[in-house]
Structure 1
Amino acid sequence: MHQGRTKMQAPRPFKRAAGGIGISMAMLPVCAGGALAQEDIRVVPDRGQTVMDRSRPEVDPVGVRIGSFRLDAAAFAGVGYDDNLLGTSTNKLGDGFVEEGARASLVSDWTVHQLGVRAGIVNRTYFNEGNFDWTDWNASAFGRYDFGGDTSVNAAYTHSRLHLAPQSVDVQQAGLAEPVPYNVDQFDVGGTTRFNRVTLGMSATYAMYRYDNVPGPGGNVSVYDYDALTLRLDTGYEFVQGRSITLGIRYQDLKYQDSASSDRDSQTWAALAGFRYDFDGVWAARIAIGYAWRDYDGPQFKSLGTPAVEANVTWNATALTTLNFTASRSIQESIRNTTASYVSNYAQIRADHELLRNVIISGWAGIGGQEYQQPTQRATDLIFGAQATWLMNRNLALSLEYRYVDRVSATGGLQEYDENVVMLRLRAAL
């Protein structure tokens, strides 16, 4: 829920990554049989597949078959440098770090139904500034039961250990100068069905957020522990195959656990209308725009209303290049004692290009913002990044990543800053 929360970083534990680059042409046999093998592994991308998602049989990890389940696992280690750990404009504090992590999943490959577990961990240790060390991890179990081809129900449980980054406006304005760890226990249930051209989906999420006992000028942040119940209703009408108009309704009820914070309890309603386009294999889009409104139990907190946006557009410009645009605008929770929440904005465009069969380069540019109404404050960040990944073989991949953040605008006493982060990482996978 919190935009300032730092999610587990690469190698993106629960998203398919391009991992590494494959065997070079010079290493392939030159006989006729080798030529045929080469044609077999250089498969034509499936219609609509992006550069990052497509199959590369010669360099993709094969996993391990365990009956009707497949085990996938990977571990990585890397070194890097962050030149502004606190996100300040003066007296910058920088330090090098070592980062290591692992992920694993065991998922069924049944033709119907699904059952699986996933887990991942990322640990960062700084050479000199130990107060900034952090460890994020999560583990989940999930399942889906199919009633024919059009109806299914699903359930999942996830435990996550995450942290808020010191560069976050929310952390800075809470008077803190170190990562803020917290735990999330999340339960999800839902189902989808289809009636001719109409699809209907309903889901419920219950999440419990628990902060560590980190003291600050506004008190211990654990007083902001809360539970969130979120209900969703989504429907769509497919007027042409692969093209639908959509309508989504959201309701969220927040309850804070400490009686001193009970005036921050709130109820939020949101409605979003949009469309899905996923037809020609070149363009795919899911865009929804609407409005969100939040009311608080405490009279000192003004009701908060804002446009809401959820957008994702993918363009497979060529067989070797994919462009992706994402945008969001939503209400998030705050750990500041003067306000209960803020509006989070983010938009990003990303390009992925297959330079060679086993070399993938990526670049992205984004803009993020946080808006507070008590007191009135705004911060706008420009974010740029680039990454090169070399898939050495099925098991090994090497990547180099650079990220730059520039807070170009800050009002109401917030401070501007810039930050450079570079990291070299080696990954090994089954």
Structure 2
Amino acid sequence: MRLLMCSAAMACIALTAPQAVQAQDLGSNFKRDKNVSVRQRPRPDYEATGQKAGGFTLYPRITADVERNDNIYAVAAGKDSDTIWRVKPEVAVRSNWSRHALGLFAGGNIIRYSDNSSENAEEYTVSANGRLDIERGSNLTGSVQTQRLVEPRTAPTSPTASGKPVKYDLTQGTVSYVKEFNRLRVTGRLDDKDFNYKDVPNVAGTSIVDQDFRDRNEFYYGAKAEYAVSPDTALYLSATGNKKDYDSKAAATNRTSDGYVVGVGANFDVSELVRGDVQVGYMSQSYDNPAFAKIDGFNAIGRLEWFPTQLTTVGLNGSRTIEESTAPGSPGYVSNNLGASIDHELMRNVLLSAAYTHGKDNYKGIDRDDKRDNFSATATYLLNRRVGLFLTYNYLKQDSSGAAKGASFKDNKVIASVALQF
């Protein structure tokens, strides 16, 4: 399905690289499609038809944004505001085969500031993914992707002394195998990510703010076993290990580590009202550098969807994870997040959305805690299957405390977008 839908956080088309979805099995005990959210609901009059090319369909589209941001450098005092322009050309390719699947995607993001040209940047993404249907209930999927990205000034890892936003390359690949045995489904997965950060000049332009210490490879391997206690509920065990290998072996910046997450959970679609996936467990990350102590503790991740009516979807989500740090003396931090969202279909082609997230990051090895509150609201107007208009307001507040505290700031932005697809 290709709809001119808008993300509540980004005011852009909510369809990015085509995903290799499992072939639908009408007899599966693991389908979770009893309820349909506002975002998932088919809208045939607003779906792109695409351009046929043999056994494939091409979906070209372009999005143009104009943003007004009152704190582009994410600082507490001496704020600078600016108007930001973005143009995002994209093309997705999807196979039309009855078995197996192949998808390709290429997209860019040209970013221009009206008054602060040092913030200008370009991003791109190129990816491919596929699915091999081996037999009923069994398939092998894979994907590869390379990106040039720009780290937001509001990111916890963004250096405050940089005169330009940090650019980095991310190359990643994933392989996943799924096998279903009636009430039992097992999944194995491998993920590889390679990060390459670019140095930036300092604010004065007199020296370089080194970012090479962040370069690393992350490798994840995991398995999951699910048992369907009924056609609409499954319980599962999950285990994922990781190896994070940093290029820098300097004593102060070597964050090479090994870790794992084990958990138990359930996914369900138990009535006409509720759908979700909740997991709790234990996480641990051990570092090669003797200066950094192990980080471990309670782990959780979950999402719930409530459907009070067919026109309204309410979402709840939460997580507790270990993340990588760039703060001197800290190997990482425990990130805690709770959020809620609501989507309402005012008319078939008019959608209203809002989301709120509260986060708290507890840094290990240093005295620092960050708290974040993020609110966004979006109005979406789909004119027809080719044109969509979006208006988004976003508010972000970060408070950092402790002897090694980071940046504290407030940021408001309004984004107006128009999306064209064919």
SS of equivalent residue, structure 1 residue 344: strand
Query: What is the identity, as a one-letter code, of the residue corresponding to 1:423?
Result: I
Q: Does 1:423 align with 2:415?
A: yes
Query: What is the identity, as a one-letter code, of the residue corresponding to 1:421?
Result: K
Match of 1:4 in 2: none
Match of 1:347 in 2: 338
User: Which one of 250, 267, 285 corresponds to residue 294 of structure 1?
Assistant: 285
| Cα pair 2:64 2:419 within 8 Å, conserved | yes
SS of equivalent residue, structure 1 residue 169: coil
**In structure 2, what is the Cα distance between the partners aligned to 1:281 and 1:159?**
40
**In structure 2, what is the Cα distance between the partners aligned to 1:302 and 1:273?**
26
Q: Does 1:245 align with 2:235?
A: yes
Match of 2:269 in 1: 278
Matches within 5 A, 1:205-354: 205-214=191-200, 220-260=210-250, 263-354=254-345
User: Which one of 190, 193, 202 corresponds to residue 204 of structure 1?
Assistant: 190
After superposition, the Cα gap between the structure-2 partners of 1:306 and 1:376, relative to the gap in structure 1 and judged at 3 Å, is farther
Q: Does 1:54 align with 2:56?
A: no
* 1:181 CA drift (Å): 1.0
| Cα pair 1:207 1:228 within 8 Å, conserved | yes
> Pairwise CA RMSD of aligned residues?
2.2
| Cα pair 1:49 1:281 within 8 Å, conserved | no
User: Which one of 30, 35, 59 corresponds to residue 72 of structure 1?
Assistant: 59
Higher helix share: 1
**In structure 2, what is the Cα distance between the partners aligned to 1:427 and 1:336?**
39
Match of 1:160 in 2: 147
* 1:281 CA drift (Å): 4.6
**In structure 1, what is the Cα distance between the partners aligned to 2:386 and 2:300?**
39
Matches within 5 A, 1:376-387: 376-387=367-378
Match of 1:42 in 2: none
User: Which one of 160, 171, 177 corresponds to residue 185 of structure 1?
Assistant: 171
**In structure 1, what is the Cα distance between the partners aligned to 2:272 and 2:54?**
34
Query: What is the identity, as a one-letter code, of the residue corresponding to 1:206?
Result: D
Q: Spell out, residue by residue over 1:38-83, the C-alpha distance to the aligned partner (whole angstroms, 9 max, x if none).
A: xxxxxxxx84221112111112222122223222221011211111
* 1:333 CA drift (Å): 1.7
* 1:119 CA drift (Å): 2.2
Match of 1:24 in 2: none
* 1:94 CA drift (Å): 1.2
**In structure 2, what is the Cα distance between the partners aligned to 1:202 and 1:96?**
46
Q: Spell out, residue by residue over 1:180-206, the C-alpha distance to the aligned partner (whole angstroms, 9 max, x if none).
A: 111111111120101231110001111
Query: What is the identity, as a one-letter code, of the residue corresponding to 2:369?
Result: R
State the aligned residue count.
394
Match of 1:25 in 2: none
After superposition, the Cα gap between the structure-2 partners of 1:266 and 1:103, relative to the gap in structure 1 and judged at 3 Å, is same
* 1:258 CA drift (Å): 3.0
Q: Mind listing any 5+ residue stretches in structure 1 that lack a counterpart?
A: 1-6, 17-45
**In structure 2, what is the Cα distance between the partners aligned to 1:394 and 1:123?**
25
SS of equivalent residue, structure 2 residue 290: coil
TM-score, length basis structure 1: 0.86
| Cα pair 1:194 1:200 within 8 Å, conserved | yes
Q: Spell out, residue by residue over 1:362-382, the C-alpha distance to the aligned partner (whole angstroms, 9 max, x if none).
A: 111111232211212111111
Further displaced range: 155-164 or 215-224: 215-224
* 1:218 CA drift (Å): 9.5
**In structure 1, what is the Cα distance between the partners aligned to 2:103 and 2:184?**
29
Q: Does 1:14 align with 2:20?
A: no
* 1:408 CA drift (Å): 4.7
* 1:219 CA drift (Å): 5.3
* 1:85 CA drift (Å): 1.4
* 1:102 CA drift (Å): 2.2
**In structure 2, what is the Cα distance between the partners aligned to 1:101 and 1:201?**
35
SS of equivalent residue, structure 2 residue 158: helix
SS of equivalent residue, structure 2 residue 322: strand
Further displaced range: 158-167 or 286-295: 158-167
| Cα pair 2:62 2:420 within 8 Å, conserved | yes
SS of equivalent residue, structure 2 residue 196: strand
Q: Percent identity?
A: 24
Q: Spell out, residue by residue over 1:183-237, the C-alpha distance to the aligned partner (whole angstroms, 9 max, x if none).
A: 1111111201012311100011111110012256995112321011100111111
Further displaced range: 317-326 or 381-390: 317-326
| Cα pair 1:166 1:177 within 8 Å, conserved | no
Q: Spell out, residue by residue over 1:123-179, the C-alpha distance to the aligned partner (whole angstroms, 9 max, x if none).
A: 221101122223232111111111222111111111122222222232246x43542
**In structure 1, what is the Cα distance between the partners aligned to 2:237 and 2:367?**
32
SS of equivalent residue, structure 2 residue 170: strand
SS of equivalent residue, structure 1 residue 183: strand
After superposition, the Cα gap between the structure-2 partners of 1:80 and 1:263, relative to the gap in structure 1 and judged at 3 Å, is closer
